[in-house]
């Protein structure tokens, strides 16, 4: 017979092995992501860092100063932290602990619901999701920072559902709500933590496991927790003269206006990216895992559980948010990462016929992540063109004099960040320009005025999207500027009244 002591030793050994498994996974994630630190910042990363370096809270025209960006304050706060040092890649280093928190939270969530086997599978899926370039996990984007907060909120919500004490259950949900709202303050459409908590409570009510009064209390606890970070952020901005209407206009209202602009223009590029996004969802393993998870719901072990209903509701809301995003960049898929990791653990650790397919999908996801990491690394080592933003910015810095300024038409603010030049035009990305300056009146006034940029880089063609059909900008630039170089395939214009000693053109 097996004694109680032997059973206890076996349980302790299993717990220890799971912890070591997660620890080794975290070490691997840290090592893989360390390689991303050595790679150049992409356009959004460079732009956020540029805005953070010029942050003037309470001053300037927009939320963060003289430059417009429609991103929440906690994300810009992280970039502001990275901007305290001259090392541009600091933001990539800051992203590493966030990725590790995702893996740990995924493991904890899986263990709470289905034990240590689920913890291992959820952690494995989480590690793959935090490292795969297919989801733009190699970049320090808002979705990468928001996903761990959502995953942590989900883990706390699941803990609350397994707690016998009513008081502790309420406090766990308050904490879950706070983390869920923190995710929104990092990426405004990542409401998944709130949706998951609401799905758990709503499913409990519909399945007759929680009464109405109890459900109302649990929802109120989640809402109270969510109000904490939102209230702190709103109050902090209020102290600096920024009211709620400004916050909504720049962080919420802009997105609806941007969607209208995207729909009104040519849909060729968005639809092409949407097709690529669907392909990436397959290659990364996100779609296969969700498909197998849906298949598992046909089997009794998962049918009718609160977790299954909450996962389904959260995935549905995430898909709607992705569709409404309009641009369909790879990092959109990170919104689904928490539910993918949780579903992988719950199904892979189960006894249904879907368990083995889920294990295979998770293992393939890990392999895909490693292969993607290797491919991206080789590309950055061997293809000069992928460094074009940084090399153009470095050339610009080497060719400029004190007091010079620059305009990149249109977008790619990482060029400005590398060049470390001021920009007299406030819209650093193409979409804000198309939404907030659709007739280019401010741009034309800037180029023709006394504070005209010293340099103009023709990055996306002056008549991209047909925005300069009347050739007003092109004629103005030709009148006031002259082409002095072609750097990485892009024409560089200099004010005709100025002369500069140009740096050697880099190889791109």
Which residues are within 8 A (CB) of 37 and not within 5 positions of it... i.e. 6 or more apart?
Answer: 89, 92, 93, 96
Domain stop point among 342, 360, 381: 381
Whole-number Cα distances in Å, 367 to 114, 131, 218, 338, 363: 25, 11, 40, 19, 6
Indicate whether 203 and 226 sit together in one domain.
Answer: yes
Residue 235 near residue 247 (C-beta atoms within 8 A): no
Distance, in Å, from the CA atom of 237 to the CA atom of 249, rounded to the nearest integer, reads 14
Least confident of 6-10, 265-269, 496-500: 6-10
Determine phi and psi for 185, rounding to 5 degrees.
-75, -5
Encoded tokens for 131: 């490292």
Mark whether 96 and 125 lie in a shared domain: yes
Note every long-range contact of 82-87, with CB atoms under 8 Å and residues 24 or more positions apart, other chains counting: 82/49, 82/52, 83/49, 83/52, 83/53, 83/55
Which carries the bigger pLDDT value, residue 4 or residue 92? Answer: 92
* pLDDT bucket at 108, cuts 50 / 70 / 90: very high
Identify whether 75 is part of a domain. no
DSSP state of 460: S
Confidence tier at 210 by pLDDT (50, 70, 90): confident
Bridge-based pairing of strands 481-487 and 455-458 is unpaired
Dihedral Cα 395, 399, 402, 404, nearest 10 deg:
-80
Q: Assess contact for 181 and 226: CB atoms under 8 A.
A: yes
Average pLDDT over residues 280-288: 95
CB 141, CB 79: distance < 8 Å? no
What is the span of the domain harbouring residue 335?
14-41+89-240+251-381
> Residue 175 to residues 75, 119, 124, 149, 178: CA-CA distances in angstroms?
20, 21, 25, 11, 5
Percent of the chain with pLDDT over 90: 71
Judge whether 504 lies within some domain: no
The answer on pLDDT for 10 being more than 60 is no
Mean pLDDT, the chain, integer? 90
Domain boundary among 381, 414, 436: 381
- Residue 67 located in a structural domain: no
| Residue 191 token pair | 């409401």
Averaged pLDDT for residues 346-356: 88
Report, as an integer, the average pLDDT of 330-346. 96
Phi-psi sector, 383: left (phi>0), alpha (psi -120 to 50), beta: beta
Residues 275, 64: Cα–Cα separation, whole Å: 34
| Dist. CA 101–CA 50, nearest whole Å | 27
pLDDT at residue 13 in the model: 54
Q: Is 300 exposed, middle or buried (0-12, 13-18, 19+ CB in 10 A)?
A: exposed
- How far is it, in rounded angstroms, from Cα 310 to Cα 303? 12
**Cα dihedral 469/471/474/480 (nearest 10):** -150
Q: Say yes or no: 171 and 315 in one domain.
A: yes
Are residues 317 and 391 part of one domain?
no
CA dist 225 and 430 (Å) reads 36
Provide the pLDDT confidence category of residue 56 given band limits of 50, 70 and 90.
confident
Give the torsion through C-alpha atoms of 437, 438, 442, 448, to 10 deg: 150
Cα radius of gyration rounded to whole Å, the chain: 25
Is 401 within the bounds of a domain? Answer: yes
pLDDT at 197: 95
Residues 172 and 320 in one domain: yes
Residue 249's pLDDT band, with cuts at 50, 70 and 90, is: confident
pLDDT at 58: 62
**6 is a domain residue:** no
pLDDT of residue 110: 95
| pLDDT at position 160 | 93
pLDDT exceeds 70 at position 355 = yes
Chain mean position to CA 7: 44
Q: Are residues 375 and 410 in the same domain?
A: no
Residue 342 sits in the same domain as residue 484: no
Tell me the pairing of strands 406-409 and 455-458. parallel
pLDDT classification of 481: cutoffs 50, 70, 90: very high
Identify the residue with better confidence: 467 or 124: 124
Same domain, 310 and 404: no
Sheet holding 490-495, edge to edge: 406-409, 455-458, 490-495, 481-487
3-state DSSP call for residue 45?
Answer: helix
Packed helices 192-206 and 166-184: angle between N→C axes, nearest 10 degrees: 140
Same domain membership, residue 270 and residue 126: yes
What pLDDT score does 96 carry? Answer: 97
Q: What is the mean pLDDT of residues 47-70?
A: 86
> Is 183 in the same domain as 316?
yes
Residue 366, classed as helix, strand or coil, is helix
pLDDT band at 166 (very low <50, low <70, confident <90, very high): confident
CA gap 280, 134 in Å, rounded: 6
The separation between CA 350 and the C-alpha centre of its own chain, rounded to angstroms, equals: 31
**Pair (338, 393) in one structural domain:** no
On whether the CB atoms of residues 370 and 130 are closer than 8 A, the answer is no
For the chain, how are helix, strand and coil distributed in percent, rounded to 5?
Answer: 70, 5, 30
Residue 300 reports pLDDT greater than 80? no
Q: Is residue 54 part of a domain?
A: no
Q: 303: pLDDT confidence band, cut at 50, 70 and 90?
A: low
Residue pair 262/327 in contact (Cβ under 8 Å)? The answer is yes
Instruction: Please tell me the predicted confidence (pLDDT) of residue 254.
Output: 81
What's the CA gap between 42 and 53, in Å, rounded? 16
Q: CA neighbours within 13 Å on the CB side: how many for 314? A: 34
Q: Is residue 63 part of a domain?
A: no
The vertex-219 CA angle with 100 and 187, nearest 5°, equals: 40
Q: In the chain, how many domains are there? A: 2
Phi-psi map region of 300: left, alpha, beta (phi>0 left; psi -120 to 50 alpha): alpha
Per-residue model confidence (pLDDT) at position 237? 84
Asked which of 364, 381, 398 is the last residue of a domain, the reply is: 381
pLDDT value at 250 more than 60 = yes
- pLDDT higher than threshold 90 for residue 276: yes
Residue 384 dihedral angles phi and psi, to the nearest 5°: -60, -30
Task: Check: CB of residue 247 under 8 Å from CB of residue 63.
Answer: yes
- The answer to whether residues 194 and 309 belong to one domain is yes
Under 8 Å between Cβ of 180 and 188: no
Q: Which residues pair with 436 in a beta bridge?
A: none
State mean pLDDT over 425-446: 93
- Cβ(473)–Cβ(443) under 8 Å? yes
Query: Which tokens in the block code for residue 438?
Result: 């659709």
Q: Please give the average per-residue pLDDT across 286-299, as a whole number.
A: 88
Query: Within a domain: residue 8?
Result: no
Tokens read off for 432? 């804000």
């Amino acid at each position: 017979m097996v004694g109680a002591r032997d059973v206890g030793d076996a349980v302790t050994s299993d717990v220890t092995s799971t912890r070591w498994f997660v620890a080794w996974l975290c070490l691997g994630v840290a090592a893989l992501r360390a390689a991303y630190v050595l790679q150049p910042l992409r356009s959004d990363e460079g732009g956020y860092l540029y805005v953070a370096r010029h942050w003037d809270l309470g001053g300037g025209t927009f939320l963060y100063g003289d430059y417009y960006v429609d991103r929440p304050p906690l994300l810009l706060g992280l970039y502001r932290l990275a901007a305290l040092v001259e090392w541009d890649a600091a933001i990539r280093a800051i992203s590493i602990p966030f990725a590790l928190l995702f893996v740990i939270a995924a493991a904890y969530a899986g263990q709470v619901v289905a034990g240590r086997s689920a913890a291992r599978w959820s952690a494995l899926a989480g590690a793959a999701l935090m490292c795969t370039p297919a989801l733009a996990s190699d970049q320090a984007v808002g979705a990468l920072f928001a996903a761990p907060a959502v995953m942590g909120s989900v883990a706390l919500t699941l803990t609350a559902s397994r707690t016998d004490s009513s008081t502790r259950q309420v406090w766990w949900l308050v904490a879950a709500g706070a983390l869920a709202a923190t995710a929104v303050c990092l990426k405004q459409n990542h409401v998944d933590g709130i949706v998951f908590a609401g799905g758990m409570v709503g499913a409990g009510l519909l399945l007759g496991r929680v009464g109405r009064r109890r459900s109302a209390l649990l929802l109120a606890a989640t809402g109270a927790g969510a109000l904490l970070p939102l209230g702190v952020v709103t109050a902090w901005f209020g102290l600096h003269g920024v009211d709620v209407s400004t916050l909504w206009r720049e962080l919420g209202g802009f997105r609806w206006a941007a969607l209208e602009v995207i729909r009104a223009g040519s849909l060729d590029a968005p639809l092409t990216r949407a097709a690529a996004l669907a392909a990436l969802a397959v290659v990364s393993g996100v779609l296969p895992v969700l498909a197998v998870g849906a298949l598992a719901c046909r089997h009794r072990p998962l049918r009718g559980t609160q977790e299954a209903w909450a996962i389904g509701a959260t995935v549905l809301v995430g898909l709607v948010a992705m569709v409404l995003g309009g641009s369909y960049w790879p990092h959109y898929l990170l919104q689904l990462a928490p539910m993918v990791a949780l579903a992988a653990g719950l199904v892979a650790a189960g006894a249904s016929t879907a368990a083995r397919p889920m294990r295979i999908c998770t293992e393939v996801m890990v392999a895909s992540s490693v292969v993607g990491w290797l491919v991206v690394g080789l590309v950055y080592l061997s293809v000069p063109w992928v460094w074009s933003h940084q090399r153009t910015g470095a050339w610009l810095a080497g060719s400029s004099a004190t007091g010079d300024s620059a305009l990149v038409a249109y977008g790619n603010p990482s060029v400005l960040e590398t060049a470390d030049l001021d920009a007299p035009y406030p819209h650093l990305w193409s979409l804000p320009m198309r939404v907030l300056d659709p007739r280019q009146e401010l741009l034309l006034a800037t180029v023709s005025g006394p504070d005209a940029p010293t340099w103009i880089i023709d990055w996306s063609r002056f008549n991209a999207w047909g925005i300069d059909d009347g050739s007003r900008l092109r004629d103005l630039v030709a009148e006031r500027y002259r082409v002095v170089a072609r750097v990485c395939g892009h024409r560089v214009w200099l004010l005709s009244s100025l002369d500069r000693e140009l740096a050697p053109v880099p190889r791109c």
